[in-house]
Amino acid sequence: MADQLATASQRGLRPALPLLLPAYLWLTVAIFLPLSAMVFFSFMTDLPLAGKEWAFTLGNYAAFFSQSLYSTLLFASLRLGLEVTLWCVVIGYPAAYVLAKVLKGRSREAIFLLVILPFWSNGLVRIFSWAMVLREGGILDTALNAVLPFKINIDLMYSYPAVIIGLVHSYVPYMVLTCYLTLQAIDDSLIEAGRSLGASRRQVLWRVIIPLSMPGLIAGSALIFVPVVGSFMEPRILGGRTGTFYGTVIEDQFVAVFNWPLGAALSFILLAVVLIILALAAPVLRRAG
């Protein structure tokens, strides 16, 4: 069991340093210094380039508060993150349970690999393939019309539902994976014990299984919520005219408009919000477990 403490007993930082240094040095150069640079940039008016005037300003941050469109978009992105995560829990957790508890041996391995494999197909082309399924006259529309006695017109493309479907499809394997890892570690004898003591299936589920697999649910949720909140690619392609989110606006600053300081400020605000949410959510969920 993962809970068994098997840590070492040697003291001191010095012997650990040569092992630690390379990895953490890399992280410093590639992550922590850039983040610091981004904070620095976010307080400038312009990129410090030869020939261009620049000065320090709080204007970029002020823009977030003065223009309501940014906070509207931020809420939209947060809401998107939450919805996608919830759908992934609803869809992914039962699948993980079946994988961990119902399937055995070869079939379990095979299905496990099949669930992971979509990770290896290119995300963008997958999204584009959804366009073929969801659009008017697309596969879903044609299939439903062939089956149902009356004519209906399904056109889900370029809408909020399409963005949700695309994102859930991309990220649900994370949830299945993390929940599987924790569910698989739950000893079957615990479940049997609960049943033999007279508990109903539902009680066993709520009182034993879910609490024990909470770490998997939390890990999966974090792995899904964080990227989705910042996503811009799927909303752009699937969302059509409703596809503007916080992530797309930030992307615009760096690619189209070229206002890097504003992009940096907006990014940092997003980061702060995400970290606050993660910090608040973790103890709440842990207590529920």
Among residues 198, 256, 283, 287, the one that binds other proteins under rule CB under 8 A: 256
Q: Is 119 in the site for other proteins (CB under 8 A)?
A: yes
Per-residue burial over 182-205, b if 16 or more Cβ lie within 10 Å, else e, is bbbebeeeebeebeeeebeeeebe
Among residues 86, 89, 95, 199, the one that binds other proteins under rule CB under 8 A: 95
What is the spatial distance between Cα 40 and Cα 100, in angstroms, rounded to a whole number? Answer: 48
Nearer to other proteins, 64 or 149 (CB): 64
Q: Least Å distance between CB 147 and other proteins?
A: 15
Among residues 87, 93, 97, 174, the one that binds other proteins under rule CB under 8 A: 97
What is the spatial distance between Cα 203 and Cα 61, in angstroms, rounded to a whole number? Answer: 50
What angle separates helix 59-66 from helix 260-288, to the nearest 10 degrees? 60
Q: Is 268 in the site for other proteins (CB under 8 A)?
A: yes
Mark the segment that binds other proteins (CB under 8 A) among 54-62, 146-154, 204-212, 219-227. 219-227
Mark the segment that binds other proteins (CB under 8 A) among 2-10, 53-61, 82-90, 207-215. 2-10
Residues 3-42 that bind other proteins (CB under 8 A): 4-13, 15-17, 19-20, 22-24, 26-27, 29-38, 41
With vertex at residue 108, the alpha carbon angle to CA 86 and CA 199, rounded to the nearest 5 degrees, is: 65
What is the spatial distance between Cα 233 and Cα 90, in angstroms, rounded to a whole number? Answer: 24
Nearer to other proteins, 125 or 284 (CB): 125
> CA dihedral in degrees (130, 179, 231, 288; nearest 10)?
130
Q: Least Å distance between CB 155 and other proteins?
A: 8
Among residues 89, 108, 199, 208, the one that binds other proteins under rule CB under 8 A: 108
Q: Least Å distance between CB 149 and other proteins?
A: 23
Q: Least Å distance between CB 112 and other proteins?
A: 6
Nearer to other proteins, 23 or 148 (CB): 23
Burial of 13 (0-12, 13-18, 19+ CB in 10 A): exposed
Please identify which residue in the block is written with the tokens 């859930």: 168
Q: Is 214 in the site for other proteins (CB under 8 A)?
A: no
Nearer to other proteins, 48 or 289 (CB): 48
Q: Is 161 in the site for other proteins (CB under 8 A)?
A: no
Nearer to other proteins, 102 or 148 (CB): 102
What is the spatial distance between Cα 95 and Cα 102, in angstroms, rounded to a whole number? Answer: 10
What is the spatial distance between Cα 141 and Cα 135, in angstroms, rounded to a whole number? Answer: 7
Q: Mask: binding to other proteins, 44-83, rule CB under 8 A, as x and -?
A: ---xxxxxx--------------x-x--xx----------
Which amino acid belongs to residue 58?
Answer: L
> CA dihedral in degrees (173, 179, 180, 185; nearest 10)?
160
Residues 123-152 that bind other proteins (CB under 8 A): 123-133, 135-139
Q: Is 186 in the site for other proteins (CB under 8 A)?
A: no
Residues 166-185 that bind other proteins (CB under 8 A): 169, 172-173, 181, 184
Distances (CA, A) of 52 to 19, 253, 255, 258: 44, 18, 19, 14
What is the spatial distance between Cα 107 and Cα 113, in angstroms, rounded to a whole number? Answer: 10
